[in-house]
Amino acid sequence: MTRNLPAGLAAAFLLAALLGGCASVPPPTAELDAADRAIRTADALEPRGPAQQALDEARQRLAAARDAASRKRHAEALVAAQQAEAAAAVAAAEARRATLEAEVDSKAARNAELRRRLLVQGD
């Protein structure tokens, strides 16, 4: 018994520590908010194609995070919120890149037209 007691205690502590560890993770409120802001930012950039898929993924992860948080599964909620923010970062960066690509193309064409109209044609 005496030999088993420490082992039993150890097992009990381990269980308590595992349960307590889960319970000790605070609600990831900041991460949820950060993910939410990142999604709003990406959404404002009107992503298309792969960026749109990344945004959808971010929304799914944020929904999962909120679901986990509502069930007090904070560690799971924290991970999902971080995933949601990372996916939203992809959506935002790629949407911004697509917008700037179009902008650069447009400006290059505009400059070529200006150069032709103002500098070449008039000479």
Partner 1 sequence: MRPFRSVRIHALARGLAVAAALALVAPALAADDEIDPVVARLQAQLAQLDRDAQLAGMGGVERLKAQQAVQALAIAKSKEYASAQFVAERRVRAAIAAAQADALARQSSELDRERDQIMVAAARRDADAARRDAERLRMQNLARQEEAERERVAAAETFALAEQAKADAEQARRLAASRAREAALAREEAELANSLVAEALAADAPLPPSRSVGPATVYTLAGSAFASGRAALTTEANASLRRLAMEIGGRNVEVVGYTDSQGAAAANQALSLRRAEAVAAILKESGASGSIRTDGRGAADPVADNGSAEGRAANRRVEITVR
Contacts with partner 1 by CB under 8 A lie at 54, 79, 82-83, 86-87, 89-90, 92-94, 96-97, 100-101, 103-104, 107-108, 110-111, 114-115, 118-119, 122-123
2 or 121: CB nearest partner 1: 121
What is d(CA 35, CA 15) in angstroms, rounded to the nearest whole number?
32
d(CA 118, CA 81): 54
Q: Which is nearer to partner 1, 25 or 86 (CB)?
A: 86
C-alpha–C-alpha distance, residues 114 and 28, integer Å: 54
Q: How far is the CB of 108 from partner 1 (least distance, A)?
A: 6
Distance CA 79, CA 62 (A): 10
CB of 77 to partner 1, least distance (A): 12
Cβ distance to partner 1 smaller for residue 4 or 85: 85
Task: Let me know: does 10 contact 57? Beta carbons within 8 Å.
Answer: no
